[in-house]
């Protein structure tokens, strides 16, 4: 039987939550024992785990968005997106391609709220 995407995402989220709790415990032990190297190592772990959790959140959001889109449009555009494409003098395919490019730029950290970085 194939894995369900939601189940995989949920399992990953639970795994990350457990890792974060463990890293927080290590951080507190190191902090209370005044172990500078231990504090920094645990803090690095927490930052890495938080970044992975944020990426997983984006993946979950993208999956939810894909599942909500109507099946009738071959490019997966909602009715609102089709109207926007039409008003912008774009084909559904062009609009979908631009939307995909924007999501990739967001995921790679090159775009945020209309601003381009890097």
Would you list the domain boundaries of the chain? 1-68, 75-118
Q: At what angle do helices 36-68 and 92-107 cross, to 10 degrees?
A: 170
- Could you state, in chain order, the average pLDDT of each consecutive group of 10 residues for the chain (118 residues)? 81 95 97 97 96 92 72 77 88 90 81 60
pTM, two decimal places:
0.54
* Pair of tokens at residue 44: 């690095």
Measured between alpha carbons, how far is 105 from 95 in angstroms, rounded to an integer?
Answer: 15
pLDDT at 111: 63
């Amino acid at each position: 039987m194939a894995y369900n995407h939601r189940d995989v995402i949920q399992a990953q989220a639970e795994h990350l939550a457990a890792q974060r709790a463990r890293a927080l415990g290590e951080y507190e032990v190191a902090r209370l024992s005044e172990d500078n190297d231990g504090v920094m190592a645990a803090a690095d772990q927490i930052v890495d785990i938080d970044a992975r959790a944020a990426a997983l959140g984006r993946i979950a959001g993208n999956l939810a968005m894909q599942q909500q889109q109507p099946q009738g449009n071959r490019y997966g555009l909602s009715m609102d997106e089709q109207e926007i494409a039409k008003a912008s003098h774009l084909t559904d395919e062009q609009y979908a391609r631009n939307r995909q490019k924007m999501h990739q730029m967001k995921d790679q950290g090159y775009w945020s709220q209309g601003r381009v970085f890097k």
